[in-house]
Amino acid sequence: MSELVSHSHPRVALIGECMIELQQHANGALRQSYGGDTLNTAVYLSRLLGSASQVDYVTALGDDSFSDAMCASWAEEGIGLSHVQRLPGRLPGLYCIQTDANGERRFLYWRNEAAVRECFTTPSAEPILAALPEYDVLYFSGITLAVLGEVGRARLLSSLGDARDRGARVVFDNNYRPRLWRSVDQARQAYRAVMHEVDVALLTEDDELALFGYADAEQIMTAYRDLGIAEVVIKRGAQSCLVCADNQRYEVAAQPVHKVIDTTAAGDSFSAAYLAWRLRGGSPEDAAAAGHRLASLVIQHPGALIPRSVMPA
């Protein structure tokens, strides 16, 4: 099975948005932390790889105390901050998580004026865009595409092409959120525009069905393989995931969980463990099993990020 990268200390850049997270408890109390799909993946990836890799986050924040606290917490997790822009007078987005008795989530968002929307449109973005092709792996999501806007998406796409020309691998997690797009057609156009620059697609089945109207996982797999994407993973929650890599197919069972507390970041953590395993030279099949292991722990704890003390060995 081919390795994702050819050396032992890869540089990884994850591109996206982190927001202020509020978790609402049954008594109405709110617990404040931070979260966002690519940031969640960055934290778990940094924890899993440690000194075996350099993990950097690419985003834009404000110059406020919440943004200061975010950066401090990322630094504590070993995440590089050299490509985090701090925009004067701006603020990060905010969201609230409400969970039902089954651990399913409802999100409320305040993000229209978030600093990340100018991530790739400011003068200070120029050296960041120029630096992206120097990484071994670039990781972004469908939410990244949505929050960057049309100009930011175009500039990201150009950097992805330059990076692949230099031998980088591009990893995409679909994470489709309809409310972030003007229409489903706009989202489809944006997704399709980047697919020819993707090497590894980490797909949530429900998101693909909602966005493109595929009938089932087999249609999804066929569509992405026809695009020439070498490695495709279809995440299906508590069901087994499907993996196709190097023209081999696998079905990897999920780990059963007795009681689900909160499904926040289940897919993000799966993606982190999958990528960490692949970066260490593991097979896609074993990487998927590692993804299930971490996700099964994450959904047994509230919020996006579990304590380091309960991370898998």
The residues that are catalytic are: 268
Spatial neighbors of 97 by CB under 8 A, at least 6 apart, are 21, 22, 23, 24, 105, 106, 107, 262, 264, 303
Q: How many whole angstroms from its chain centre is CA 127? A: 23
Report residue 185: phi and psi, to 5°. Answer: -65, -40
How far is it, in rounded angstroms, from Cα 152 to Cα 143? 13
Nearest to 41 by CA among 58, 24, 60: 58
Tokens of 42: 């960055």
Q: How far is CA 151 from CA 14, 100, 120, 127, 228, in A?
A: 19, 38, 8, 17, 26
Contacts of 241 (CB under 8 A, 6+ apart): 233, 234, 235, 251, 252, 254, 270, 288, 291, 292
> Residue 179: helix, strand or coil by DSSP?
helix
For residues 44 and 273, the answer to whether their CB atoms sit within 8 Å is yes
Tokens standing for residue 80: 């590089």
Amino acid at 52: A
**Distances in whole angstroms, Cα of residue 101 to Cα of each of 23, 96, 258, 263, 267:** 14, 17, 14, 12, 20
3-state secondary structure of 73: helix
